[in-house]
Structure 1
């Protein structure tokens, strides 16, 4: 295995999965005081997929993974590493190992990675390092979230935004390195802008000894601050990643942003002077699926024949943490 030191990285397959249950804006307006016009004009979202009580993060992640493995023509037992980027695991101890077992990827080590809506990009860079150093040759990277579990369905500021889904890619050692450049960033001083926070209550044990026990609160977000952050920081990080790749925006075939809000997608593309026909968007049908949004959209465009082998893509994730990052890569071997 270690003879692959200095190997390049290629993205050789993609897959995605979404729950069958769809809730459109008209249906949502029966839950909270809102309207299709209000949601569509402010976010670009028309509907979102929601996991049923029978569907789990693991089932969605496994379905997406099987599709990605099939496209890459890789058997599960050939996978060396599984990284599951998620903020909503079925088990706080991690869900990647459950996916490993479901797939029958008996030779793979598996772990979760948490970086919210930036998770897939952070995972892409992390997975690539294992391949580049020759430690592993075939990696399955999954981005999946079931945010409906943690949405306050009485809060119209947030419940209109989020949906559930999963996407996956297969990364393989390759003679030519298809990961051309990347840049990752974090700013914990803005952590309060977007939270899914633990809320503990003191509990006395013995004498003066006390601990905190509780649960997680619903998602809270300062929408205006997140918008300002994304519109400023995302173009910067993409330009830095392009610089590392010795490329410019004119060299891009596709701009693949985290599907958070159509206004953000439009504003970032405008700042980068990327024409709208090069901007990947399926936000209208899925909403914000956090770590799943980039691979889910990627898979849709690949299977529709829009993204072609050899084309150059700038992918950028941004969100809670606050975290953001960009990766420039070419699709296919």
Structure 2
């Protein structure tokens, strides 16, 4: 095990320009899982949706942009905010779930890997910069970050670029009201091994996978439109099951990571949790307060971007981190020696958490 600290040296994001507001779904044809239309009109469906998820708008990539393009922009921004050159990268890890998809085709393209495409787009000539992808549901960026930390601690790397990217809007069923949750985007971070004397860095991590009945909570399935079933498959969620699963297990995973780090809730300055659903994230935090026997002012402690950016899957946490670092998330800032917790839950079902002290 290498005697060093692992810090984040550079953060960047790519927030697509195209804004899609809730009212843009007023003319959608929404069906239930049984193929029947809802009795409520779309205005009522959207009103309830916003009340539960907190989402008012989301971002979609331009038609000529793929997930690897968004990843490249985020990576360039992270490198520009770092102290290293791209040629110094030992690994590029790109987390995603559906690869590159062209508009209207629904075909996923993962060969060559998106990480290799990012290396090509960055014009990195160093053959020792190794590239691979991670498919781990919405927690993919965080799991990739855990791998980066472990590789650096094992002495296999010094600088690792980790990117989470998705054009998830291209794999949703437009006849499923859950399609309004998802959005596109990319976020990137550079993890670096530094002197063991550094005051800060990754303190701990935890991960878990539940794959018995939970396996079907997030999966691919046919459209809900009874007359348009043609074999194409889209993201399908069992929202209530996911909510119940997350409420029971995510806070425990966070507490496990905190215990490993010897950190109490009172010591934590911010928790950056995957932007899946506003009500669910709030419920997870309340559960964490309960099991820790401590509370924090929720609005100050847990930043939220889902209201305007939607759920961009693997991109939500690094994008939020970048916005805070650039003082573009009102009411939130990160200072030296702050202790942060990153946490995510998603298809698998996977959960992970990381405790990080800002140098």
> Normalised by the size of structure 2, how large is the TM-score?
0.84
Structure 2: runs of 5 or more not aligned: 30-40, 101-108, 223-229, 290-295
Q: For residues 30 and 308 of structure 1, what CA distance do their matches in structure 2 show?
A: 45
Matched, 1:310 2:337: yes
Q: Deviations over 1:134-155 (max 9, x none)?
A: 1111110001111111100111
Q: Deviations over 1:263-292 (max 9, x none)?
A: 011111212224211102101011111111
Match of 1:30 among 27, 30, 34: 27
What is aligned with 2:121?
102
Matched, 1:47 2:71: no
Q: For residues 98 and 82 of structure 1, what CA distance do their matches in structure 2 show?
A: 10
Distance change >3 Å, CA 252–CA 52, structure 1 → 2: same
Q: Indicate the RMSD between aligned Cα atoms, in angstroms.
A: 1.9
What is aligned with 1:229?
245
What is aligned with 1:203?
none
What is aligned with 2:205?
182
Matched, 1:69 2:87: no
Matches within 5 A, 1:204-223: 217-223=233-239
Q: Deviations over 1:25-56 (max 9, x none)?
A: 01122224533422210110011111222011
Matched residue SS, 1:160: helix
Matched, 1:92 2:110: yes
Structure 2 contact 325–334 (Cα < 8 Å) conserved: yes
Matched, 1:195 2:219: yes
Distance change >3 Å, CA 251–CA 99, structure 1 → 2: same
- CA shift, 1:5, in A, is 2.9
- CA shift, 1:256, in A, is 0.6
Matched residue SS, 2:73: helix
Q: Deviations over 1:97-132 (max 9, x none)?
A: 000110123321111001011111111110111111
Q: For residues 166 and 74 of structure 1, what CA distance do their matches in structure 2 show?
A: 20
Q: Deviations over 1:47-77 (max 9, x none)?
A: 1111222011011000011111111122211
- Higher share in strand: 1
Matched residue SS, 2:81: helix
What is aligned with 1:169?
189
Match of 1:250 among 266, 271, 294: 266
Matched, 1:297 2:320: yes
Matched residue SS, 2:276: coil
Distance change >3 Å, CA 15–CA 215, structure 1 → 2: farther
